[in-house]
Amino acid sequence: MSSSYDFIIVGGGTAGCLIANRLVSSKKSPSVLIIETGDHGDLDHRVPYARYLNAFTRPDLDYGYETAPQAALDDKVMPYARGKGMGGSTMINFMVYTRGASGDYDEWAKLVGNDDWSWDAALKRFQKIENYTDNNGAEYKNYAELSAACSESTGTLGVSVQFEEETAAFLDAAYELGWKKNLDLNSGNPIGVGAAASTVYEGMRCTSSSAHIQPDTPNLTIMVKSQATKILFEGTKAIGVEVNGKVSVYASKEVILSSGSFDTPKLLLLSGVGPAKELEAFGINIIKDLPGIGKNMQDHCGVFVSDLVDNAMSSRAPFIHSKDLYEDARKQWDKDRTGSLTTHYSAMCIAFLKQEHLHDTPEYQALSEESKSYLQRPTIPTIEIAFNGPTFPPGQVYGEDSTCFCSGIMLMHPESRGSVTLKSSNPFDPPVIDPNYVDHPFDRLALIEGVREARRLINETSLNKYWIKPILAPEDDTDEAIWEHIKDLIMSIWHASSTVSMGKDDDPMACVGADMKLRGLQNLRAADMSVCPLVITGHTQAVAYQIGQAAAEKIIDEHNLNG
């Protein structure tokens, strides 16, 4: 392989694969190298039935990261799944595809002083990414209806809204609580409850690699099992990347960092870009003092509640209990990508709720005016409640007549801020990941109220007729009992953002501008969730794709690759 390319992309993940596709497909056909720590994936990780399993059962596809001890949670340490391989976290995520709220993007544009990050601009990029399919019968039109903004999409990423036998009954129960019906969670207004879109196409999980990487593309080179260990500079100009601590490859135009919210700041810090005092402590030569690198981390955390229910509630139950049915289904999937492994666990329901009743609390009143203004935007929820998703806890054994009903409650817009720092100057050490979960009193209050609201779904609706007993639930409805449940079971939802945050020119903590170029450096750009200045409503894979599309468009335009 060559040692010199036009562009080097560090990370073959969600945004990285898309950027590579767009660059190599441009008229001038530049040479592009992807450096990926993991390997090419097998077919097993693309079985839709395993959508909630890969993150827990495929350590070969995961970096194995953990959080630092969390001060607000009695120093609890949590595993933090990060996809390792071509496709990145799209190999192991839960396949949920939510664009976010229009208010998120308009706030993003406000924070960076550039309308190119507004909802209207993002929507145009989403349409270039997605390939929406609708294979559901007419009986489901009362529960989900794609907007024109979805049907006009022209991309290659398979996205669809699917239903299972019980989906309608679950949504009807949610309506009983007064949760607003939402026929299209991706319209820009996610408030309410509806059927979630998933990244599945023709009976398979759709990853960024499967959607965007074509084999034998002559101007694309992929280095797998190869870890970027240092960015190479001439002065403040990025000229290449050191790989595995011993091989150097060079970029004549740009180095593009697309390794995610942990490994992008880690590589910058190792390379001498970051807070000067932190770098000096590790004896790292300072290329550029950027105090915001690794700071401002924002993430969704959440907790599950689970109840034992009669298996008449779920069409999945008989299949889950039968090894023979699974083996037959796997043979069917291997044959033509159809059957039970494409239908069971295909549907998830999501409610995005605003919790306006909390606005009179001392915790809310103590928020900054900026935070209150943001939360009051009409499309911005406080929490997400997802149900009819994974079986929880994993490995739970049920009798033939029972299964579980599980809800996940997630905090959407935390006030708490975390960080990513170096453990040492050894590039093969993991980063120190400190999300600082629920450190802020309003975060704790919102999550407690979210759990309380989720319990109503099984306790106060027509679903209660199936209920047998709790599996994992608070002992009672008091704040104290719910908080103990949260502390015991809280986990990351794996949506880390904002660690190489985008901002205005006069923001001293901004690491990149609206063009995603590293401040004070040349030929170096970051393009992944690390640049997003706020954590977006919902699940972040769609946001990462949109960042990749924006980066590709900017790069192609600046280098006149379609000229």
Q: Name the residues annotated as catalytic.
A: 495, 539
Tell whether residue 495 is among the known ligand binding residues: yes
Query: In terms of DSSP bridges, do strands 32-35 and 4-10 run parallel, antiparallel, or are they unpaired?
Result: parallel
DSSP 234-259: ETTEEEEEEETTTEEEEEEEEEEE-S
Q: Which residues contact 119 (CB under 8 A, 6 or more apart)?
A: 102, 103, 104, 105, 106, 188
Nearest-5° Cα angle at 522, 550 to 265 = 70
Using CA atoms, how far residue 396 sits from 164, 362, 473, in Å, is: 22, 40, 15
Q: What is the 3-state secondary structure (H, E, C) of 326-387?
A: HHHHHHHHHHHCCCHHHHCCCCCEEEEECCHHHHHCHHHHCCCHHHHHHHCCCCCCCEEEEE
Tell whether residue 77 is among the known ligand binding residues: no
SS3 220: strand
Token digits for 364? 């809310």
Among residues 542, 457, 487, 414, the alpha carbon closest in space to that of 153 is found at: 542
C-alpha to C-alpha distance for 88 and 20, rounded to whole angstroms: 14
Token digits for 419? 């960080």
Among residues 401, 391, 410, the alpha carbon closest in space to that of 306 is found at: 391
Which amino acid is residue 199, in one-letter code?
T
DSSP 426-467: -TTSPPEEE--TT-SHHHHHHHHHHHHHHHHHHHSSGGGGGE
Query: Which residue is associated with the tokens 């595809």?
Result: 97
Which amino acid is residue 252, in one-letter code?
S
Among residues 443, 427, 518, 538, the alpha carbon closest in space to that of 530 is found at: 518
Contact by Cβ (8 Å): 288, 520: yes
Q: Which residues contact 461 (CB under 8 A, 6 or more apart)?
A: 173, 174, 176, 177
Tell whether residue 95 is among the known ligand binding residues: yes
SS3 112: helix
Contact by Cβ (8 Å): 437, 299: yes
The angle, 0 to 180 degrees and rounded to 10, between the axes of the packed helices 479-489 and 441-459 is 100
Percent helix, strand, coil in the chain, to 5, is: 35, 25, 45
C-alpha to C-alpha distance for 25 and 225, rounded to whole angstroms: 25
Token digits for 176? 């009983």
Task: Report CA 37 to chain centroid distance, whole Å.
Answer: 19
C-alpha to C-alpha distance for 340 and 18, rounded to whole angstroms: 30
Largest CA distance in the chain: 69
Tell whether residue 529 is among the known ligand binding residues: no
Contact by Cβ (8 Å): 530, 497: yes
Binding site for FAD: which residues? 93-96, 494-495
Binding site: which residues? 93-96, 494-495
